[in-house]
Structure 1
Amino acid sequence: MMITDTIVAISTPIGEGAIGIVRMSGPDAFDIVHTIFKSATSKKTINRELVYGHIYSNDQIVDEVMVAKMQSPHTYTKEDIVEINCHGGILPLKEILSLCLKNGARLAERGEFTQRAFLNGRIDLTQAESVMDLISAKTKKGFDLAINQLEGFLSNKIKSIRNQLIVTMGQIEVSIDYPEEDIEEITYNEIRNQLESVLNSIDELLKNAQNGKIIRDGLKTAIIGKPNVGKSSLMNALLKDSRAIVTEIAGTTRDVIEEFMNIGGIPIKLIDTAGIRETEDLVEKIGVERSKGVFNEADLVIFMLNASELISKEDLLLMELVKDRHAIVIINKTDLEIKLDENLISEHLKDKIIIKTSLELEQGIDLVEQAIQQMVFGNNIDMSSTEMVSNSRHISLLENSRDNICDAIGAINNRMPYDFVEVDIKEGIINLGKITGESVEKDLLTNIFSNFCLGK
């Protein structure tokens, strides 16, 4: 793809800061910066060196800056790149950006620098997506996972599997196209063996995919229960911060409150919900409806009960909802007189982890953290693999490719003509290619990079 224009964007967060960076990439980047920048000494801008000087608009100084030029092809985008390090306020950044635009650059779209790195062949699509994962990582495990993918460990594995299929398809095509030539024809057993080897490799990648997805995206965990059972107190205790309002008044939480926390290196998206009950209060009623929506979408549910109260019809209703979900049951307020029928809870939710807490006395919080980790990973988080899949798009395409290979093996077992087998293998190759970018549509690229921030 021929790229002829030069793009520019602010690459640091907008706001007050010590330093802000305006980045340009493209064939005119050097000419544009030479037009607006003057060195404070006789020293000229040199490849990969920071040079001190000023940005000018006509003869008026705009800001005191340090400028770095990076010459293609050894840059992030494989194009000429200029980075202008200025003061980090909103005005200097916008003024310098405006001067770059006036002198021939175009405002970059979201993720366009990384998109150019992909289009120019410096990285593949898997590596490009890992850039955003690196920026948005919420735990050390998530960061390490993104680094591994940026270094190409996953890409290399996917490409290796894809190449195996290409070799197999080539052998089949030779048998189809040149049946009368003196060429050894591949047998059904040989094709099956090769495809089963590919299938095993895909299964190995998918084995830890759910763990990888949780490490990347976080585990959506909803705290539910009727009003005043201690949901907000639990959230504050887990976060070790007064994030949610806690009072003796039932129904204090009227809306959904979300915060991320780290348990054993796993990002947990903790969601405190409004107490679920029948109410005539319009605002609370809206909160209850939102709570029900959060419950339906949650990966894990923490269901809380009040030990000092008899089981209510709201509790029974929630017990029925929780019964078939990944859930932890917490019996709170055990420092008070126990009125709750614990046997009834154990009978209804016999396969659930049940924890007793007194959040008022700060008892049992560590047990909740342990239970969350045990529920998700069984205390066995395998991060030793450098080829862990974490992206939902990649997982879906791997599953599609797996289905294609299974269909091809089924066609072989039924002694279908080679043409039928070839079609399934070709689909598998296309799906794997969509992961790394060898066979990707323009619309998909636009969708992927539109999720990036400006300047990246």
Structure 2
Amino acid sequence: MGSVLNNFSNDTICAIATAMSDAGIGIIRVSGKNALEICNKIYVSSKKEHNLFSHSPNTIVYGFICDESRVEDEQIIDEVMISYMKAPHSYTREDVIEINSHGGMIVMNQILNLLLDNGCRLAEPGEFTKRAFLNGRIDLTQAEAVMDIISAQNQFALENSKSQLQGKISDKIKGFRKDIIYQMAFIESAIDDPENYDLDGYSEKLKSIVSSLISDISKLIDSSDEGKIRKDGIKTVIVGKPNAGKSSLLNVLTGDERAIVTDIAGTTRDIIEETVRLGDIVLHVIDTAGIRNTDDIIEKIGVDKAKEKVKEADLVLYILDSTSEIDNEDKDIISLCNDKKTVVILNKDDLSDNIKITDDIIRVLFSDYEYDVLPIIKTSMINGNGIEQLKKAVSDLFLNGHIVPKHELYITSLRHKNLLVEAKNSLDKVLESIELGLSEDFYTVDLTGAYEALGEIIGEEIGDDLANEIFSKFCMGK
């Protein structure tokens, strides 16, 4: 676990663990070797006794938090329930106390300040979970899953994070490492003691084992793109000329009058952002100003912003007024969509007698660009036609039409993916060494590289900088 353990603080820490807002209950969490002693100083029972030490662990105690330094003022800060978890049977594997107070911001801050005055240190973001990791209760993938559960935006993200917290990724990685370390140990033993260890035919055996590992690791890597989409959502930009129906589309997707809709071209001049759920897919939708050539300085700023957002997008929803003729402004927009996953939306399909843009015209316009799939959806924002087809088209583009996850376990962390790729590359080099007929000691170098990369995923090989970066993303009190 590197030098992280060497810098591990033995301070007793505290933080507010619930949201800083008015609520029925607020929780202040304390962890460390002096947690019970510090809390006992500020706790008074209904019999006016400082008697937390007399209560058994894993119980809840009624009483009051008091500031006895107040001489003339009321000493009671709040009526509370206190739970005590004794090490190592706690979240951090340290003594942990949770003070359940009323949820007002003032009262929680007063209790927090009282703890600080009596010897606690304010916890850093994620420090409780960091201590759980450093004390060996969870590994690094499980620690990361805690924050993923808190920030989950959909059911898939929640379920996948729960699986990760339960150790499913850890178990996979530990299984890979167990297989690799066994082969490393065998090679070292055979080199050191050739009389008792026979390497005849070993290269073919190792080739089979390494090929199997590469296959299993590749499956996890292959799950990562879809996993990240399902977890984090798709950065989506709605583009088109003024009055094509962009804002109407946003309103239909959100089910709300989020954007102003008028017959006046150029109504939308700034960026509007919304999160939309299509089944189990999350779209982070940006409605942009209509793209056209304009002398209006303010509108031009909006057009430039729209073009920048297209460059950053994972998905472009290009909406056209199908009753209008194609012009050079449309061709400019199509050039912006190049290399982007795009769904073309032919709006105002309800005006069937005036249709001027057809599927064939669109395919000719896009023919200069390489598109394996170019969905074209006919819609009417007035009656909602085509919205279900739009949802299916997005699913087909990103999930190959599989709304239900195909894999039991998805990799959703870019850190995990990169380390899996690193491990796979090392194992590929082992196969190259076997094919080249190199001696067995060459295999060990790349087996070690794979072993260490996998170890970094679960935190067996980790330095201070990486640990601090990961836990700094956590919220206070967790």
Q: Residue 208 of structure 1 aligns with which residue?
A: 223
Which consecutive unaligned segments of at least 5 residues does structure 1 have? none
CA distances 1:286-342 after superposition (whole Å, capped 9, x unpaired): 333332232122222111111121112121122233243211110112233223354
Whole-angstrom distance in 2 between the partners of 1:363 and 1:381: 21
> Which of the numbers 348, 355, 363 marks the counterpart of 2:365?
348
Residue 26 (1) aligns with residue 32 (2): yes
For the 8 Å contact 1:323–1:348, the answer to whether it is kept is no
For the 8 Å contact 1:154–1:386, the answer to whether it is kept is no
Residue 417 (1) aligns with residue 436 (2): no
Residue 455 (1) aligns with residue 477 (2): yes
For the 8 Å contact 2:190–2:196, the answer to whether it is kept is no
Whole-angstrom distance in 1 between the partners of 2:28 and 2:145: 23
Report the AA paired with residue 94 of structure 2: E
For the 8 Å contact 1:264–1:373, the answer to whether it is kept is no
Residue 184 (1) aligns with residue 198 (2): yes
Whole-angstrom distance in 2 between the partners of 1:296 and 1:140: 29
Q: Residue 167 of structure 2 aligns with which residue?
A: 152
Cα RMSD for the two superposed structures: 1.9
> Which of the numbers 391, 399, 407 marks the counterpart of 2:413?
391
Whole-angstrom distance in 2 between the partners of 1:283 and 1:400: 48
Q: Residue 358 of structure 1 aligns with which residue?
A: 380
CA distances 1:396-437 after superposition (whole Å, capped 9, x unpaired): 111111111111211211112333322111111111111111
Q: Residue 7 of structure 1 aligns with which residue?
A: 13
For the 8 Å contact 1:310–1:341, the answer to whether it is kept is no
> Which of the numbers 59, 62, 72 marks the counterpart of 1:52?
62
Q: Which moved more, 1:204-213 or 1:14-23?
A: 204-213
Structure 1 residue 203, shift from structure 2 partner: 1.5
CA separation of 1:255/1:419 partners in 2, compared to 1, >3 Å: closer, same or farther? farther
Q: Residue 96 of structure 1 aligns with which residue?
A: 111
> Which of the numbers 251, 262, 272 marks the counterpart of 1:257?
272
SS at match of 2:326: coil
Query: Counterparts in 2 of 1:64-213, with a 5 A limit?
Result: 64-179=79-194, 181-185=195-199, 187-213=202-228
SS at match of 2:261: coil
Q: Residue 370 of structure 2 aligns with which residue?
A: none
For the 8 Å contact 1:157–1:387, the answer to whether it is kept is no
Whole-angstrom distance in 2 between the partners of 1:283 and 1:434: 50
SS at match of 2:79: strand
Return the TM-score normalized by structure 2. Answer: 0.91
For the 8 Å contact 1:133–1:216, the answer to whether it is kept is no
For the 8 Å contact 2:310–2:336, the answer to whether it is kept is no
CA distances 1:189-212 after superposition (whole Å, capped 9, x unpaired): 122111111111101212322111
Whole-angstrom distance in 2 between the partners of 1:154 and 1:419: 30
For the 8 Å contact 2:223–2:407, the answer to whether it is kept is no
Structure 1 residue 385, shift from structure 2 partner: 3.8
Whole-angstrom distance in 2 between the partners of 1:218 and 1:94: 36
Whole-angstrom distance in 1 between the partners of 2:355 and 2:405: 43
Residue 400 (1) aligns with residue 413 (2): no
> Which of the numbers 374, 398, 402 marks the counterpart of 1:380?
402
Q: Residue 297 of structure 1 aligns with which residue?
A: 312
Report the AA paired with residue 328 of structure 1: V
Report the AA paired with residue 182 of structure 1: N
Which consecutive unaligned segments of at least 5 residues does structure 2 have? 368-372
Q: Residue 218 of structure 1 aligns with which residue?
A: 233
Structure 1 residue 9, shift from structure 2 partner: 0.7
Whole-angstrom distance in 1 between the partners of 2:381 and 2:404: 32
Whole-angstrom distance in 1 between the partners of 2:359 and 2:208: 55
Whole-angstrom distance in 2 between the partners of 1:84 and 1:126: 29
For the 8 Å contact 2:93–2:135, the answer to whether it is kept is yes
Q: Residue 371 of structure 1 aligns with which residue?
A: 393
Structure 1 residue 23, shift from structure 2 partner: 0.6
Whole-angstrom distance in 1 between the partners of 2:276 and 2:440: 53
Return the TM-score normalized by structure 1. Answer: 0.95
User: Kindly, what percent of the aligned residue pairs are identical?
Assistant: 43
Whole-angstrom distance in 1 between the partners of 2:108 and 2:56: 23
For the 8 Å contact 1:168–1:194, the answer to whether it is kept is no
Q: Residue 327 of structure 1 aligns with which residue?
A: 342
SS at match of 2:350: coil
Report the AA paired with residue 364 of structure 2: E
Structure 1 residue 3, shift from structure 2 partner: 4.2
CA separation of 1:438/1:102 partners in 2, compared to 1, >3 Å: closer, same or farther? same
CA separation of 1:15/1:407 partners in 2, compared to 1, >3 Å: closer, same or farther? same
Report the AA paired with residue 409 of structure 1: L
CA distances 1:162-199 after superposition (whole Å, capped 9, x unpaired): 111111122222233344x3321262212211111111
For the 8 Å contact 1:311–1:341, the answer to whether it is kept is no
